[in-house]
């Protein structure tokens, strides 16, 4: 029976994997290349009016123009500033709220139903109320983004703390850990994977909420750039903005992921 399974040496496997990765890259680029080719064909033969489908080169030119005029970096800087402040506020509040509810059943009993009720209404549902209360100032964007971040951060913090085995807390008690030691040596390291999940979900939510709020109520930022271009019917600019939003979202996620990996690697070596 066992002879039917292919046996392979680790060395040859690595070579095969490297080859496969190279082949994988080629395959991965095939579909985008085909799409680009069709898009180019559709644009040059004018299957669709250029007003509705600008050629790829035109979109690229729009992207270059946005960069050259500095407009891109200005709008992106404003957007990133909003995400930064909103994310920071959401993470700090989410961690505090999650830790309080995770560590104390009493706090959870008082706060969890209200928290659930608040998180039931999606971010966009809060927007009209917030606009009425604080106008469409900067604080509106920060508040909306913070709301989008708090929910996943809090839920995952509570989950991470609740999943710590009760036995570990007993060990900490036997060793007479101070509350600070219990936090630093037991709670934070054990809850870290779940915390990291919350932080990543929060960042993705923050970026999505930023785009939504900038489409609806802003006069600067990448979302505004997009909706403004759409009003002027400049589809090349709309598509260029989509590329910027996609790439920025990817970079943000990647950056957080590398921080997360470093933190989790530290956790493994600490044991």
Partner 1 sequence: MSNNPSRFDPRGLALPGLVLALWWGATASGFADTRIVAPPAEVLAAALRELTSGELAEGLLASLGRDLAGFALGSTAGLLLGALLAVSGLADRLVSPTLHALKQVALFAWIPLISVWLGQDEAARVLFIGLAAFYPVLFNSHEGIRSVTRELAEVTRVFRFNARQRITRLILPAAAPQIFAGLHLALIYSWLATIGAEYFFKATPGVSTPLLDGRADFDMAKVLYGMVVVGLVGAALNAIASRLEQRSLKWRRSR
**Which stretch in 38-46, 85-93, 138-146, 219-227 sits in contact with partner 1 by CB under 8 A?**
219-227
Residue nearer to partner 1 on the CB measure, 188 or 227:
227
> What H or E segment, with its residue span, contains residue 197?
helix 188-216
Q: From 121, 179, 110, select the one nearest 150 (Cα to Cα).
A: 121
Q: Which of 250, 258, 261, 266 binds partner 1 (CB under 8 A)?
A: 250
List all residues 6 or more positions away from 149 whose beta carbon is below 8 Å from its beta carbon.
Answer: 86, 87, 89, 90, 91, 94, 202, 203, 205, 206
| Shortest Cβ 176–partner 1 spacing (Å) | 29
| Shortest Cβ 206–partner 1 spacing (Å) | 10
- CA–CA distance, 237 with 60 (Å, rounded to integer): 9
Residue nearer to partner 1 on the CB measure, 4 or 269:
4
Q: From 197, 245, 205, 209, select the one nearest 225 (Cα to Cα).
A: 245
Q: Is 7 in the site for partner 1 (CB under 8 A)?
A: no
Interface positions, 129-148, toward partner 1 (CB under 8 A): 129, 131-133
Q: Which of 208, 220, 260, 267 binds partner 1 (CB under 8 A)?
A: 208
161, 162, 167, 171: CA torsion to nearest 10: 20
Q: Is 238 in the site for partner 1 (CB under 8 A)?
A: yes
Site string for partner 1, 146-185 (x = CB under 8 A): ---------x--xx--x-----------------------
Q: Note the Cα 51 to chain centre separation in Å.
A: 32
Q: Is 6 in the site for partner 1 (CB under 8 A)?
A: no
- The answer to whether the Cα torsion of 100, 103, 107, 108 is positive or negative is positive
Which ranges of 4-104 does DSSP label H, i.e. alpha helix? Answer: 10-44, 56-68, 71-103
Tokens at residue 180, please?
Answer: 């600070």
Question: Which residues lie near partner 1 (CB under 8 A)?
Answer: 23-24, 27-32, 35, 52, 101, 106, 108-114, 117, 120-129, 131-133, 155, 158-159, 162, 207-208, 210-212, 215-216, 223, 226-227, 229-230, 233, 235, 238-239, 241-242, 245-247, 249-250, 253
């Amino acid at each position: 029976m066992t002879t039917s399974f292919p046996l392979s040496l680790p060395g040859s496997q690595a070579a095969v994997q490297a080859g496969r990765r190279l082949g994988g890259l080629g395959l991965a680029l095939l579909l985008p290349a085909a799409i680009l080719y069709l898009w180019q064909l559709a644009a040059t033969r004018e299957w669709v009016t250029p007003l509705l489908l600008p050629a790829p080169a035109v979109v690229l030119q729009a992207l270059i123009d946005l960069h050259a005029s500095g407009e891109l970096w200005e709008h992106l800087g404003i957007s990133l500033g909003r995400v930064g402040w909103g994310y920071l506020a959401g993470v700090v509040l989410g961690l505090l709220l999650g830790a309080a509810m995770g560590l104390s059943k009493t706090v959870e009993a008082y706060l969890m139903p209200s928290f659930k009720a608040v998180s039931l209404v999606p971010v966009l549902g809060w927007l009209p109320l917030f606009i009425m209360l604080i106008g469409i100032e900067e604080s509106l964007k920060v508040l909306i983004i913070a709301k989008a971040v708090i929910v996943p951060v809090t839920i995952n913090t509570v989950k991470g703390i609740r999943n710590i085995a009760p036995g570990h807390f007993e060990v900490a008690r036997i060793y007479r850990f101070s509350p600070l030691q219990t936090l630093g040596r037991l709670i934070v390291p054990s809850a870290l994977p779940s915390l990291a999940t919350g932080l990543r979900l929060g960042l993705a939510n923050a970026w999505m909420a930023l785009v939504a709020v900038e489409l609806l109520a802003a006069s600067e930022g990448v979302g505004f750039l997009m909706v403004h271009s759409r009003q002027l019917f400049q589809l090349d600019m709309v598509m260029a903005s989509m590329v910027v939003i996609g790439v920025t979202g990817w970079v943000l996620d990647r950056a957080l992921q590398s921080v997360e990996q470093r933190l989790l690697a530290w956790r493994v070596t600490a044991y």
